[in-house]
Amino acid sequence: MSKQSLSPAQQGANSVRTHLVLGIIGFIMVFPFIWQLVISLSTNDQVMSVPPTFWPGDLQWGNFVDVFTKLPFFDQFGVSVGITVIRVIGQVVLCSMAGYAFARMRFRGRGIFLGVILSILMVPPQVYLIPQFQIIQNLGLLNTIIGIALPGIFSAFGVFLMRQIFLGLPIELEEAARLDGANPVQIFYKIMLPLATPGISALVIITTLWSWNDLLWPLVVTTYAEKMPLSAGLATLAGSITTDYPVMMAASVLAMAPVLILFIVLQRRVVEGLAFSGSK
């Protein structure tokens, strides 16, 4: 039955059911964040109480102040920002160049090289954790921002994403530029790269979220609290006997706020970039 054949009452009922289902799904998705906020404003006794307290009586704003006394928050925030900036720049430069080469250039073994790079997506990152650590250790980069960021400046997903972006651009633009005397470097930087802005925006936000939340690798290569990013620093708040969960949740809220704001600002570009990459 087509939508035009439905009566206004039936269309209204379908709309109500659709919005109800979407509302339930949306609430399930945001509930962990709401519960995190509730815990960050509670006392530890309220968090551990049975049955649980779903809303604290007195809001404990002091938990956010305690974050700065129990963690070198600003030092770890600076480390997180430094790691994220290095990885984002590396991903944009290297993945864009590699994606353009695989999309537009013809060279022997192109399919084989692309297959090898994409096969990395099927390998768990824990497999090459020890070799990466040995390389960083031999380079003397333990407990440094460069040592944490270096393994993340290139990704197989970024190459695939940018390749799909460049495949979706009209080849006539390259041919016209080539007839005007532009060399491959000029075609890439002055013509194709500006047109790939939606894909680059998607790559930037995806890399930022992944880098900001990266936990395992920073824990492996850092031993000093002030040298850790926020993701690893938050893990140190978990005690061996007791854990101050309200302070941990307050620190988590402060840590996630920058990337949450960034995602809200750039979410339309992310959707556009991912949709454009799949249109080929």
Per-residue pLDDT tens over the stretch 212-258: 989 899 999 998 989 999 989 888 887 656 778 888 899 999 998 88
Q: What is the pLDDT of residue 273?
A: 61
Q: How confident is the model at residue 70 (pLDDT cuts 50, 70, 90)?
A: confident
Averaged over 54-81, what is the pLDDT? 88
Q: Is residue 214 part of a domain?
A: yes
Q: Is residue 41 part of a domain?
A: no
Q: What is the pLDDT of residue 96?
A: 93
Q: What is the pLDDT of residue 141?
A: 92
The mean predicted confidence, pLDDT, of the chain is 85
DSSP assignment of the chain: --STTS-HHHHHHHHHHHHHHHHHHHHHHHHHHHHHHHHHTS-HHHHH-SSPPSS-SS--THHHHHHHHHS-HHHHHHHHHHHHHHHHHHIIIIIHHHHHHHHH---TTHHHHHHHHHHGGGS-GGGGHHHHHHHHHHTT-TTSHHHHHGGGS--HHHHHHHHHHHHTS-HHHHHHHHHTT--HHHIIIIIIHHHTHHHHHHHHHHHHHHHHH--HHHHHH--SGGGS-HHHHHHTTS-SS---HHHHHHHHHHHHHHHHHHHHHHHHHHHHHHHHHT--
Q: What is the pLDDT of residue 1?
A: 46
Segments forming the whole domain that contains residue 217: 69-277
Q: Count of domains in the chain?
A: 1
Q: What is the pLDDT of residue 275?
A: 63
Q: Is residue 37 part of a domain?
A: no
Question: Tens digits of per-residue pLDDT, 23-47?
Answer: 999 999 989 888 888 888 888 888 8
Q: Is residue 238 part of a domain?
A: yes
Q: What is the pLDDT of residue 88?
A: 94
**Do 249 and 39 contact (CB within 8 A), yes or no?**
yes
Q: Is residue 267 part of a domain?
A: yes
Burial of 109 (0-12, 13-18, 19+ CB in 10 A): exposed
Please give the Cα distance from 85 to 211 (Å, whole number).
9
Q: What is the pLDDT of residue 241?
A: 62
CATH number for 227: 1.10.3720.10
Residue 64 reports pLDDT greater than 60 = yes
Q: Is residue 44 part of a domain?
A: no
- pTM (two decimals): 0.83
